[in-house]
Amino acid sequence: MKGPHNIIRLIRTGATLERAGAMNVVLDAFEAPPALRFVAKALAKPFRWLGYKGDPTMPPAIRAITALGPAYIKFGQILSTRPDVVGDELAVQLRVLQDKLPPFSVDQAKAEVERELGMPTDALFSEFSEPVAAASIAQVHKAKLAQEDKFVAVKVLRPGVEKAFQKDIDAFYFAASIVELFAPSARRLRPVDVIKHFDGVVQGELDLRLESSAAGEFAANTEKDEGFKLPKIRWEFSGRRVMTLEWADGVPMGDNIAIDTAGHDRVDLSERVLRLFLLHALRDGYFHADMHQGNLKVAANGDIIAYDFGIMGHIDEYTRRVYAEILFGFIRKDFKRVAEVHFEAGYVPADKDVDEFARALRAVGEPIFGMDASKISMARLLAYLFEVTERFGMETRTELILLQRTMVVVEGVARSLNPNINIWQVASPVVTDYIQKSIGPRAVVNDLYKTARVLTRFGPRLPRLVEQALIAQSNPQPPKRNGFWRWITLAGVIGLLAGGGLTLLIEVLA
């Protein structure tokens, strides 16, 4: 991670930002303090001539990022999910950032396939097209299986991409450390943690077996979801650097004319794509975190097809319940309950005033709910919510930010299909159903059942645990510790017996 190459890379980065006219844009977006601005400009200006020129037709920040190469393009895309870090204005610019890299040759792609799968490409595929999409990490080819009359999409990593990314990621860690050193106010945004998040995302995308696994898990979760389809992974033609999945035929989700020509109902599609996202996020805690139009198609039968599983979001069950209660509270305009949920979850420091926080939330919610129903934006609400929680000392939570960003994207997809969609009307049944199942009486029984199942696993070890506890009691111990062990033993025995009985009762009743 350390070394002169990091300093050299950062100088060239600063020089490119300066040459493209993006230095002030980036510093303003990060709200850089004077000390950090001074260091950045002092390193960049004298070496401006070292900066890459880039495409002068692009906006400054996009021009600089695309000129700096694949790692910076991917980092820009990841930062578009973090308006809390780069600000809303730059985040919007970064969302339209496209992978503008030239594809590598078909011969190179075939060579990579042969090395990874251990067989000649011609023996595997009777047809292998020119690249149909080229990104910063990989590109995709349309191919036909030699032994089957089926077309597939073959995703191949760029040659040498792992080494190139690792070099730049080291420089990113170095830069984040400098930011934390010279900008104490930025520590709340946890720049090193942001880089760790980026590093984890990239490492996952650099091993296509992990993306294949993510696609498989997502498919298992959603196989019974009506009107939703995922292309099947062909594991026998996949590996670390190659991923093969069935070809998905359909019209692009972003082409309304093609959708209308095919006879699809755009109103139904707009509502379905929003419901599906909320269902996956709340029910499964595992959702497609890059659901823009470019990763969605509409099949001939009207099914929504999703692909490209490089970025997936995960939220644990407790966080899902908190998120659902927050949404449900806003739907009911119960701002006091929304405030209490934040305090109960520990999102807002306990020394803050819950009533004051509730009033701040009302100031956020009331103007939005005063709008026409079709203009109410859940994405805008979440953005305002994070602004308020930030003022009350809530620390950045990466999983919620990713959820918010995906909500923004999905809402944009829905409104592009149907500008008059009532977001709350569509979301309410999904959120209400989840609340009833995860927070109501049924949820209490399920939680007790899960707890009992865990406790009964200790059944075979119970005699030994009791024996150890009795031996510990027989040894001279301070009174306080003896009392502690007696309570632990008693609670353990009661818990194990109650757990076993409850499990047996539930299984008998089932």
Query: Distance of alpha carbon 474 from its chain centroid, rounded?
Result: 53
Contact 141, 109 (CB under 8 A): yes
> At 387, which helix (H) or strand (E)?
helix 378-391
Q: Which two tokens stand for residue 210?
A: 């992990």
> At 130, which helix (H) or strand (E)?
strand 125-134
d(CA 509, CA 505): 6
Contact 214, 240 (CB under 8 A): no
Catalytic status, residue 290: yes
> At 121, which helix (H) or strand (E)?
helix 121-124
Sign of CA dihedral 323, 326, 329, 333: negative
Those residues whose C-beta lies under 8 Å from the C-beta of residue 279, and which sit 6 or more positions away, are 225, 430
> At 490, which helix (H) or strand (E)?
helix 479-509
Those residues whose C-beta lies under 8 Å from the C-beta of residue 440, and which sit 6 or more positions away, are none
Among 285, 314, 296, 223, residue whose Cα is nearest residue 255:
296
Among 424, 345, 352, 414, residue whose Cα is nearest residue 388:
352
> Which residue in the block uniquely carries the two structure tokens 């260091």?
39
Contact 116, 107 (CB under 8 A): no
The CB density around residue 289, as the number of other CB atoms within 10 Å, is 21
Those residues whose C-beta lies under 8 Å from the C-beta of residue 497, and which sit 6 or more positions away, are none
Contact 317, 364 (CB under 8 A): no
The CA-atom distances, in angstroms, between 277 and each of 40, 104, 173, 374 are 41, 34, 33, 19
Residue 140, beta-bridge partner list: 133, 155
d(CA 80, CA 314): 18
d(CA 50, CA 387): 39
HEC string of 441-470 equals HHHHHHHHHHHHHHHHCCHHHHHHHHHHHH
Which is catalytic among the residues 207, 290, 303, 351? 290
Q: Which amino acid is at 233?
A: I
Residue 243, beta-bridge partner list: 155
Active-site positions? 290
